[in-house]
Amino acid sequence: MKVCVDAGHGGKDPGAIGFDPFYVEEETIDLAIALELEAALESIGHWTVMTRRKDRSLGLSSRANFANRLGADLFVSIHSNAALSPEVEGMEVFHFPGSPAGRGAATEVLGSMQTAFPDHRSRGVKEANLAVLRLTEMPAILVETEFLTNPRQLLFLTHPVHQAQLATAIATGIDGCFRSAL
């Protein structure tokens, strides 16, 4: 199956910013996890196309149009969450409202992430009318890996081993979604 992996933000749009215990921009974490996800998906036999491989600006409609043009079977946007309170934490996956295939993919991916990280809070599968979910012609999900505004989760998100483990968990969920559809 062909999966379009979208590393959220980039270029002039750094996304959310974590400050404690150190400064990091979301775009950096998103790209690192997306590149790991590409490798994880390809290692289990999926064809992957990337919206970006480096720190560059890319509009939301451009991301969706890229996936549409290449005929992806699934669009997966990788993000790190933020909140005003540093105590907020958890993983969640969004899909477009009324998309049964999107809901199925979101459920599989979040379930796989919870299996890999049982000590992390699940914030659930949610619907959202986000541009990258709305403008894609295939099922699409947006994965919020954790909150970089939570000091403990910021350390988790920036650790290369955890980034690879997150990518593997997301890839396992994607693979499960495709296998259940067969």
List, for residues 21-54, the tens digit of each pLDDT value: 999 999 999 999 999 999 999 999 999 999 999 9
Predicted local distance difference test score (pLDDT) of residue 144: 98
Classify 98 in phi/psi space as left (phi over 0), alpha (psi -120 to 50) or beta: left
Please report which confidence band the pLDDT of residue 182 belongs to, taking 50, 70 and 90 as the band edges. very low
Predicted TM-score (pTM) of this structure: 0.97
56's tokens = 């560059």
Residue with the two structure tokens 């910021």: 154
Give CA–CA dist 57/143, Å, rounded: 20
Give CA–CA dist 178/182, Å, rounded: 7
Predicted local distance difference test score (pLDDT) of residue 179: 80
CA angle 140, 144, 149 (to 5 degrees): 155
Predicted local distance difference test score (pLDDT) of residue 29: 98
Predicted local distance difference test score (pLDDT) of residue 112: 98
Percent of the chain with pLDDT over 90: 97
Predicted local distance difference test score (pLDDT) of residue 178: 84
Please report which confidence band the pLDDT of residue 180 belongs to, taking 50, 70 and 90 as the band edges. confident
User: What residues does each domain of the chain span?
Assistant: 2-181
pLDDT surpasses 90 at 155:
yes
Burial class (CB in 10 A: 0-12, 13-18, 19+), 68: middle
Percent of the chain with pLDDT over 70: 99
Mean per-residue pLDDT over the chain, rounded: 97
CATH number of 2-181: 3.40.630.40
List, for residues 117-140, the tens digit of each pLDDT value: 999 999 999 999 999 999 999 999
